[in-house]
Amino acid sequence: MMTKPRIFRVMKVADEKPEVGNGSGMLGVRARDVGLDEDVPNDSPVGPGTGGMSVGGCLRTIYINLLPRRLAQQDPELFRGAKGANSQKVWSMGSGPYQPAAFSADLNLRIEEQSEPPGHGLVEPGRAMPLEEFQERLAATQDEWQVNEEHTDDCPVCQQFGLGRPGTP
């Protein structure tokens, strides 16, 4: 059994799990996330390198505007600018190092080389498939996600991408 990289994502909650769907803050993708127009049919093809579900390797590699506001209240220095909905949670899955890898025969993690914040990643199709199947593959991971809003100063992902604590060299 392969060790999946640990990834983080801010998502809505439904029945104590990430909410599955194709909207913002859901376990899934919008058509535009994979380079398609919003009104395309569900059988439109997607594949590796076309885009996917936005993730990070730790709380600091998630877009700051998506992080729930409560995190800025808990650590104003580290999460300054967090303005996401407090009704959403930060979820994580996997336990392996944050590096490009297969999640399954059908899903891959790609880390964007040039991103802000550094370390932004995408869970993409591992092979060519219809958009609807990609959505199903992402939804099938629902039970693997756990709420995880913890961050430590010795975070290996922050070290990997040179993200020191604000105000320190």
pLDDT 10s digits, 63-102: 999 999 999 999 999 899 999 999 999 999 999 999 999 8
Residues paired with 46 in a beta bridge = 129
Residue 148 lies in a domain: yes
Q: Is residue 14 part of a domain?
A: yes
3-state secondary structure string across 60-78: HHCCHHHCEHHHHHHCCCC
What is the number of structural domains in the chain? 1
Region of poorest pLDDT, from 21-30, 37-46, 107-116, 123-132:
37-46
Q: Within a domain: residue 165?
A: no
Amino acid at 149: E
Q: Does the residue 139 lie in any domain?
A: yes
Residue 74 lies in a domain: yes
Residue 132 to residue 145: CA distance in whole angstroms: 21
Task: Kindly state whether residue 38 falls inside one of the protein's structural domains.
Answer: yes
Instruction: Kindly state whether residue 64 falls inside one of the protein's structural domains.
Output: yes
Q: With respect to residue 143, please indicate whether it lies within any of the assigned structural domains.
A: yes
What would the mean pLDDT of 139-160 be, rounded to a whole number?
Answer: 94
Least reliable range by pLDDT among 4-13, 47-56, 113-122: 113-122
Between 167 and 60, name the one with better pLDDT.
60
pLDDT at 166: 66
Query: What domain range is 148 assigned to?
Result: 7-160
